[in-house]
Amino acid sequence: MDFRIEDISEEEIDRRLSVVEPLTDSVRQLVDAVIRSEVSDERLTAAKDRIDEIVADLREQQRPGSFGTPYTKEFIGMPWGNAAVGARNAVAPPLHVRRSPGLAECEMELGAAYEGPGGCVHGGIAALLLDQLVGEAASTDGLPSFTGTLTVKYLRPTLLGALSARAEVTGREGRKTFVHATMSDADGVTVEADAIMICPKDFELPTGDALPPPADRRLDR
Ligand SMILES: CCCCCCCC/C=C\CCCCCCCC(=O)SCCNC(=O)CCNC(=O)[C@H](O)C(C)(C)COP(=O)(O)OP(=O)(O)OC[C@H]1O[C@@H](n2cnc3c(N)ncnc32)[C@H](O)[C@@H]1OP(=O)(O)O
């Protein structure tokens, strides 16, 4: 796992986000446009050539492997490549998660890129997003928890569109945290999930006088 420290200020985080968030949003628009475009084959081929040029330009300087999650010394995380919340990842809707102790909530708009059955959210996408949310709820005390078991129950089809999701810690037992989560549309819950989250036994968080206590750590941004 990549837990590198990149000690930048909150102002610098904001500055970087102000550059990459609009870029990532444009890529999301591109994905949606490709799925739904009805222009001619010639225009589709011309679009491919223009996109290939942009890819070659961005590849001039690339970091090796994935983005990872760098942390500042104040323990603010930057999970910008994350598949559910990543500010640089057009695959992520992205979720903008609100956290309070034992609770994680968000609203989202899922469009054509998240389709499974026609007009409906893909079951794997619902599981992905709820997995992120249970991880965030379980980690609100500042200690990391990884998903051990995630059980997902699809109650009825989730139509693409405006949705909300919520995860709440229901119990703790040693290194295990139990979390219940739901995804809902305007008519109520469509998917529910139960997770057993586990803080790995050999996992050591960085320590030191400079670091805030676990409860004050902001594990992501
Ligand atoms: C520099 C700073 C660093 C900061 C770090 C911050 C971190 C980020 C924080 C917050 C942001 C939120 C991010 C959310 C992301 C979304 C969530 C995911 O997608 S997570 C990825 C998918 N999950 C995996 O890849 C897990 C892979 N599995 C493992 O790593 C291990 O198997 C693990 C940790 C799950 C358990 O390993 P063991 O060795 O610690 O566990 P043992 O000691 O054997 O068991 C402990 C207890 O847990 C139960 N247990 C073990 N495995 C279980 C399982 N799979 N399901 C249910 N229970 C299990 C056991 O029965 C035992 O229970 P008994 O104490 O006896 O009651």
User: What CATH number did the domain enclosing 123 receive?
Assistant: 3.10.129.10
Question: Going edge to edge, which strands form the sheet with 188-198?
Answer: 98-100, 103-110, 161-173, 176-185, 188-198, 146-154
Identify the burial level of 183 via C-beta atoms within 10 angstroms of its C-beta, where 0-12 means exposed, 13-18 middle and 19 or more buried: buried
- pTM for the whole thing? 0.92
Q: How many domains does the chain have?
A: 1
Q: Examine residue 94 and say whether the peptide bond preceding it is cis (omega within 30 degrees of 0).
A: yes
Q: Does residue 138 form part of some domain? A: yes
Is 36 part of a structural domain of the chain?
Answer: no
Q: Identify the pLDDT of residue 4.
A: 84
Asked if the structure places residue 54 within a domain, the reply is: no
- How far apart are the CA of 84 and the centre of ligand 1, in A? 19
pLDDT at 220: 63
Amino acid at 200: P
In a domain, 8, yes or no: no
Q: In tens digits, what is the pLDDT along the chain, a chain of 221 residues?
A: 667 899 899 999 999 999 999 999 999 999 999 999 999 999 999 999 999 999 999 999 999 999 999 999 888 889 999 999 999 999 999 999 999 999 999 999 999 999 999 999 999 999 999 999 999 999 988 778 999 999 999 999 999 999 999 999 999 998 999 999 999 999 999 999 999 999 988 776 555 555 555 555 565 65
Rounded-to-integer distance, Cα 6 and Cα 18, Å: 18
Distance, CA of 200 to CA of 105 (rounded, Å): 24
Chain position carrying tokens 């008519």: 187
**3-state DSSP assignment of residue 75:** coil
* Structural tokens at position 81: 């490549």
Determine, yes or no, domain membership for 91.
Answer: no
Report the amino acid identity of residue 144. Answer: P
Check residue 201 and give its pLDDT: 84
SS3 98: strand
pLDDT for res 205? 59
Q: Residue 178 belongs to what domain range?
A: 98-216
Quote the ipTM score: 0.91
What is the whole-number distance in angstroms between the Cα of residue 151 and the centre of ligand 1? 15
Q: Report yes or no on 30 lying in a domain.
A: no
160 C-alpha to center of ligand 1: Å? 31
pLDDT value of residue 132: 98
Distance 163 CA to ligand 1 centre (A): 28
Q: Which residues of 112-131 are buried (b: 16+ CB within 10 A; e: fewer)?
A: ebbeeeeebbbeebbbbbbb
Distances in Å between the alpha carbon of 104 and those of 50, 76, 197? 40, 17, 14
Question: How far apart are the C-alpha atoms of 117 and 157, rounded to whole Å?
Answer: 9
Q: For residue 203, is it within any domain?
A: yes
- Name which residue sits closest to atom 37 of ligand 1, judged by CA: 200
Asked, for residue 113, whether it belongs to a domain, the answer is: yes
Position of tokens 């997902």? 152
Tell me, using a 6 A CB cutoff, whether residue 135 lines ligand 1. yes
Ligand 1, atom 13: nearest CA belongs to which residue? 135
For the chain, what is the total number of helices (H) and then of strands (E)?
A: 3, 6
